[in-house]
Amino acid sequence: MPVTIHKRVTWSEYVDPMHRVHAASDPVPSANPWNPTVGVFIHHRGPAPLGGGDYVTEEDCLEDIADVYMDHVSDDEFNGDVAYNFFVCQHGNIY
């Protein structure tokens, strides 16, 4: 089954206008050292169980991704970009 990964520009329109160009750009590799030997890192976003919750529409998901981005770009811990490789919304879309 083919998988579509939507580009950052899909959710960048929900970011503060001063950050939209950066949000829509390809990410720059992080300088933070992280050298896992095995496994996968999964982060579940939101208080609701997987597959249901507060994000009724895909637009709700895009707004939440933009909020995560804004939180991360304003925190030095994340090197000025979102700290996740991908987001998967409850509608099955990958960003």
* Per-residue pLDDT at 24: 96
* Per-residue pLDDT at 45: 64
Beta-carbon contacts of 39 under 8 Å, excluding residues fewer than 6 positions away, are none
* Per-residue pLDDT at 33: 72
Tell me the whole-structure pTM to 2 decimals: 0.80
Successive 10-residue mean pLDDT values, the chain, 95 residues:
89 95 87 70 61 76 91 84 84 86
* Per-residue pLDDT at 10: 95
* Per-residue pLDDT at 47: 59
* Per-residue pLDDT at 63: 92
CA dist 43 and 87 (Å) reads: 9
